[in-house]
Chain A
Amino acid sequence: MAFYEKLMTMDRRVVYITMALAVAIPLFVPFQVPIHTTSEVKSVYDFIESLKPGDRLLIAIDYDPNAMAELHPMALTICRQCFAKGIKLFFVTLSQNGPGMAEQLVSRLSKEFNKKNGVDYIYLGYKPYPGLVILSMGQNFRISFPMDYYGTPVDSMPIMQGIRNYDDMKAVIAFEAGWVADSWIGDANGRYKLPVALGLTGVMTADYYPYIQSKQIIGLMGGLKGAAEYETLAKAKDRIASRGMKVQTITHIVVILFIIVGNIGFFMSRRKKL
């Protein structure tokens, strides 16, 4: 069997093992790759930096554990930046498996920054049917969330005093792994003019660039790279995404090599047939 025929009939498990090694080995080797920041990520960072202590932000944790690797690092970094600046955070989750993600984030960061529930932040919890919940919050947060995630009436909390709807928020920073992002843009921004910034999974990112040039979103962070860029801008101490980017670099090189090898095999076998 000729070399190119071997290439074309290579067992797919060879590819899997090579990829597994390409991911595993760099995890143990200490090296860094340069992270260049892009304007769409910097605009989110600049927006949050422009806020003053006491300003209020809505944080939407709309992702499940399957998107955790990409979105959790950026959510962590942004919430740390907000808490460090004294910004009051209103957490909400509109993804069915999101409550666990948000709970993990809230409990970890509240301990880290010694922030009080109901005073410095509130975790409103989860409600299904995201489009309707987003619309209802535009009228009054209490329609969908009369109580917080832990069952405390929101009106009994100091942070909710004088808070009615999106008019009382500076923006929503939405971490999205699905179509809920469309609702934040269309309903929260389109109907209620609430500024929206997005943290997206890599799969979704390319679809949302048009909303930047139409100024419907402040900016966006796409996938692990977006998270790494934000960590660089925020000078984060816990650089989870940046650590992942060195592995991304190696795996992408391996993927490119496989594409080249596969094409060589394809064109050589086609030439042979001609």
Chain B
Amino acid sequence: MSGDIIGIWIGAILTLGIFSFLYKDNPFYKFSEALFVGISAGYWFVVTFWQYFVPKFWDNLSLSFHELVANGRIDYHWIYLVGGFFGVLMLLRLVPKIGWLSRWSLAFIVGTTAGLQFTRYLESNGIRQVVGTIKPLVVGGNLGTSIGNIIIVVGTFTGLIYFFFSKEHKGAFGGAARVGVWFLMINFGAMFGYTVMSRMSLLIGRMDYLFSDWLKLIK
């Protein structure tokens, strides 16, 4: 029996194990779930260790150490010690008495991420989206584009009105908010439809695997 066939059998049995939850919770399902979570975590750890820790931290510092010993020079790779220091601080969460030191690392991560994300979101989700919404309502000779532009402008404007809570939703303002709700509902409907399609795709993928790869009933 080749490795591929063994792999297909394991895949098929574990797929059935996960599906068995649909009947009711059972040890077969628990085993399959725990195996999936465990393998994912283990795989992620190994990949991160070899793809990041070793080449970025260990290899660079080894080079710097050799440079120091051989030529007495201190090169810029020693900067990776700062990262290593913050990494060690993170692990101190395991020591309750000095666990608070891990907040320094977290503060560094949160601060850096916030700084990087702020400009990114402002540009891509703020300014570019506002610019994309400023459109001519009437495009000469192109009825479809005109209707599309009107829908974008009205949908954005009324959607924003719905989320403006400093004024009571009454009269014309309330009417616009109700139109906004319709746009939101259509959006949620589209998202739900896509989600159903996505989940069905996963089921189809698994069924296809069971019937064609495992049982060879479909060519």
Contacts and interface: CB of A to CB of B under 8 A. Distances in A.
Interface of A: 13, 16, 19-20, 23-24, 27-28, 66, 68-70, 96-97, 99, 125-128, 131, 135, 146-147, 182-183, 185-187, 189-191, 201-207, 210-211, 213-216, 222-225, 243-244, 247-248, 251-252, 255
Contacts of A66: 202
A27 B211 contact: yes
Contacts of A13: 22-23
B2 interface: no
A104 B120 CA distance: 33
B160 interface: no
A202 to B, nearest CB: 3
Interface in B146-171: 152
A186 B218 contact: no
B196 A252 contact: yes
A126 B44 CA distance: 11
A206 B191 CA distance: 6
Nearest to A248: B200
Contacts of A251: 200, 203-204
A224 B152 contact: no
B218 A190 contact: no
Given A127-B52, A252-B196, A69 B204 contact: yes
Contacts of A70: 198, 201-202, 205
B191 A23 contact: no
Of the four ranges (under 10, 10 to 19, 20 to 34, 35 or more), the interface on chain B belongs to 35 or more
Contact of B124 (A19, A125, A186, A225): A186
A128 B52 contact: yes
A244 B9 CA distance: 23
Given A202-B198, A203-B195, A252-B197, A23 B204 contact: yes
Given A128-B47, A186-B121, 20 more contacts: A23-B203, A27-B211, A96-B43, A96-B47, A97-B43, A99-B47, A186-B123, A186-B124, A190-B123, A191-B123, A203-B198, A205-B194, A206-B187, A211-B124, A213-B152, A214-B131, A215-B132, A216-B124, A251-B200, A251-B204
A189 B201 contact: no
A231 to B, nearest CB: 14
Contacts of A146: 55
Contact of A206 (B194, B202, B203): B194
B interface majority secondary structure:
helix
B120 A190 contact: yes
Contacts, number: 133
10 contacts: A24-B211, A27-B211, A69-B206, A70-B201, A96-B47, A189-B124, A190-B128, A213-B132, A244-B204, A244-B205
B198 A214 contact: no
B129 A214 contact: yes
A69 B200 CA distance: 10
A20 B22 CA distance: 11
B43 A186 contact: no
Given A203-B195, A223-B201, A128 B120 contact: no
Given A24-B207, A213-B152, A215-B132, A131 B198 contact: no
A206 B51 contact: no
A272 B39 CA distance: 53
Interface string B26-66: 00000000000000100110011001100100000000000
B116 interface: yes
Contacts of A16: 22
A210 B201 contact: no
Contacts of A203: 191, 194-195, 198
B70 interface: no
B114 interface: no
Given A27-B211, A210-B129, A216-B128, A247 B204 contact: yes
A68 B205 contact: yes
B191 A207 contact: yes
Contacts of A204: 194
Contact of B48 (A128, A182, A244): A128
B173 to A, nearest CB: 25
A223 B194 contact: yes
A89 B208 CA distance: 29
Contact of B116 (A96, A131, A210, A216): A131
